[in-house]
Amino acid sequence: MNKKRVLILIGGQYHPFESCANLLKGFVEAAGRHRCEISEDRDRLKARSINRFDAVILYTQGGELEKTQLEGLLNFVKKGGGCVGIHGAAASWQKHDAYVDFLGGTFASHGPIMEFPVTITSAKSVITQRIQNFRVTDELYTLDKFDPKTVEILATASWHGKAHPVAYRRTYGAGRVFYLALGHDERAFGHAEFQKMAIRGLDWTLRRPEREPLTSGVIGYGGAFNMGRMHLQGLRDAAGFQTVAVCELDAARRQVAEQENPGIKTYPSVSEMLRKSDVELLVVITPHESHARLALQCLKAGRHVIMEKPFCLTVKEADAMIEAASKNRRMLSVFHNRRWDGDYMTIKDVIQRGLLGDVFHIELAGGGYHHPGYWWRSHKPISGGGFYDWGAHFVDWVLGLVPAKLTEISGHFQDKRVWHDVTNEDHCNAVLRFGNGCCANIELSSLAAVNKRRWRILGTKGGLEDVGDNRFRLVTFRDGVKLDSFVAYQPGDWQAYYRNIGDHLTLDEPLAVTPESARRVIGVIETAEKSSRARKAVPAPREWA
């Protein structure tokens, strides 16, 4: 693929231009479609230079342009070039009325750097689709000589009771202009939603073709937890895909699927669905032992696949699915939706803010003292074992919190101690050791007569424990003074998983839950059981650690 050439023009006062430009260049080039050059030389806007590029990004402030520089920029866009203005671009070259008209407005004022909410006002634009309202620490610009009738406003923020444009787009001659008012310093340039809008805005100015929504469906519409309906809703409402197909063995459940999803087509077998439907993406919602078999069938038929967790039962199965996805050039992911649970997102935020220092100890527990139930999730040949249900979430959480390779796994499982009428283990415990010295203890039990709270985490500068009522107790010594407080869980956001699937398959944005990360989870579970049988710790295999 021929990469588009992009000029990033920087320079002026009051902003860390060089460091922010390097961040910008990094995440724009990481998309794989662009090659960027950074320059402070305004002569790069002259026709003989700018015409060598496909688009220009202006991250500048103040000053004036020579006539040939201004004409070079305006004519470049008039003839079909792309331009992205970031933050101080509106505070640049303000004496040139032609430039102000070109950009769509000019800087008027700003308040202090602070955290404020950004509201998405155009959910259908390719630049802002699937982006939710967010908060950012930045400098909020207000604009002068701004006429909302000449642009399409995509996002706003409130200042003194009035909504001000934060992002907008417009055409200029045969070219396109996108302006993003955010971007005072590295805090904005490092923000995920800022990066999305900057890359998407650049792609829009370059007329990157927009893809049609995919068609999608589910395999399995059983009554437990209404998971079939939940996945179809996520595919439709969050990813923006068409939901067109359901495969379900039970005729009564097929009828329920048709009633709950008017117009959807239902099929009694996967083979028939793949033969009669051109559905592009399928979610596998079936008992665990069937995951790998059904995924391989769908991948080899050229369909994208999402697996309900767990990914599968063995690393060998995971390898086969990953190989099939690569060979057939199809997406493979796992519904690790609990990466967007409120407690887990709160923990990640606390760690990223440095309030715990270096995390060296994690305790994660679930369960109680109760019979595990008489259904397939309690039957090891189908479920995989007592560690494969919630354990998949717990292991995924721990692996997402510790930025180091696994070195050792020790499993301690109790089997047939009390619940002899089912085949899963009664109690599962795994201890994970990492190369940075961190140790994680994961416990899932049907024998815990005295139970523990879900979370306890220790770091070099603080600790955190779950105290119930959707909140943590947080103790931190980060600034040399003990602070002991309670922190409420953030709101959960399971739909974020499907928004990412939509962004990945229609905009080529990074996949949040990769099959390789899910393979690592299965490797931990499988190895913990091996360790328990051997009654000794087992080194983590290098190829997936």
DSSP states of 24-75 as a string?
HHHHHHHTSSEEEEEE--GGGGSHHHHTT-SEEEEEE-B----HHHHHHHHH
Provide the residue count of the chain.
Answer: 545
pLDDT value at 372 more than 70: yes
Give the per-residue pLDDT at 480: 87
Nearest CA among 227, 295, 215, 234 for reference residue 257: 227
Categorize the per-residue pLDDT at 479 as very low, low, confident or very high, splitting at 50, 70 and 90.
confident
Mean pLDDT of 369-396: 95
Residue-level pLDDT at 545: 65
Q: Among residues of the chain, what percentage have pLDDT more than 90? A: 97
Superfamily of domain 4-205: Class I glutamine amidotransferase (GATase) domain (3.40.50.880)
| Predicted local confidence at residue 543, as pLDDT | 72
Beta-carbon contacts of 20 under 8 Å, excluding residues fewer than 6 positions away, are 10, 59, 183, 185, 186, 189
Kindly state the average pLDDT of the residues 506-516.
97
Q: Is the pLDDT of residue 468 over 80?
A: yes
User: Which of 3.40.605.10, 3.30.360.10, 3.40.50.300, 3.90.180.10 is the CATH number of 338-539?
Assistant: 3.30.360.10
Name the band, by pLDDT with cuts 50, 70 and 90, for residue 544.
low
Q: What pTM was computed for the model? A: 0.94
**pLDDT at residue 364, rounded to an integer:** 97
Write down the pLDDT at residue 185: 97
Q: How far is CA 301 from CA 139, 296, 297, 322, 364, in A?
A: 50, 8, 6, 15, 40
What pLDDT, on a 0 to 100 scale, did the predictor assign at position 49? 97
Cα separation of 24 and 445, whole Å? 47
Average of per-residue pLDDT values in the chain: 96
278-321 pLDDT per residue, tens: 999 999 999 999 999 999 999 999 999 999 999 999 999 999 99
Chain region(s) in the chain for CATH 3.30.360.10: 338-539
Distance separating alpha carbons of residues 499 and 235, to the nearest angstrom: 8
Residue among 295, 236, 300, 302 at smallest CA distance from 264: 236
**Parts of the chain belonging to CATH 3.40.50.880:** 4-205
Judge contact between 84 and 167, C-beta under 8 A: no
As a whole number of angstroms, the distance between CA 310 and CA 536 comes to 25
pLDDT in tens, 198-256: 999 999 999 999 999 999 999 999 878 899 999 999 999 999 999 999 999 999 999 99
Query: pLDDT band at 542, cuts 50/70/90?
Result: confident
Q: Which fold has domain 215-337?
A: Rossmann fold (3.40.50)
Residues of the chain with CATH 3.40.50.720: 215-337
